[in-house]
Amino acid sequence: MKTIRKAAAPVVGVLAGAVATGLLLGGNATATERDARSDRFAIREVIDRHQMYIDLRDADSYANLYAKDGHYRSPFGSADGRSEIKAMFIDLAEKGFTKGKRHMSGPAMIETNGTTATARSWYWVAETEKEHAVYATGTYTDKLRKLNGKWEIVQRVQTLDELAPASQ
């Protein structure tokens, strides 16, 4: 155990020093680079909250991720504006569409340009009630804007991955 501690000590010291000087956290970044990183992080939060609010059955918070004039397009339905998006959310939940499912976000590519951004992310939906399995996978393509310091979805297009043909 002493050998492991001795070997790890220099690594820990270097990492601590790097963090202390801000090298790992962008200490040498310009204000614009820090703003872009902060924006990408905030957008990632929107993407993640989108999935969480589905599973928490929180229609208001879900709809409020969208711009007042936001659009949602998917194989399961389409809606325009927060009120329609909220109504669609409630309708799908009441029909049991999301029952026994867990929605997760995968990796995301986020490009910011001032107060607008685009994001492409992968998602998957797990079945949690009948059996533990992946229910669906697909892609979200988002257009976002920053209004009063808050990022919101202007348009989300959801697609489903096609199933591979059954092997013969």
- pLDDT tens over the chain, length 168 residues: 444 444 444 444 433 443 343 444 455 678 788 888 999 999 999 999 999 999 999 999 999 999 999 999 999 999 999 999 999 999 999 999 989 999 999 999 999 999 999 999 999 999 999 889 899 999 999 999 999 999 999 999 999 999 877 754
- The pLDDT assigned to 95 comes to 94
**What is the value of pTM for the model shown?**
0.78
Domain 30-160 is found in CATH 3.10.450.50: yes
Tokens of 10: 């220099």
- The pLDDT assigned to 146 comes to 98
Please state, in angstroms and rounded to a whole number, the distance separating the CA atoms of residues 87 and 110: 28
The answer to whether 89 and 61 have CB atoms below 8 angstroms apart is: no
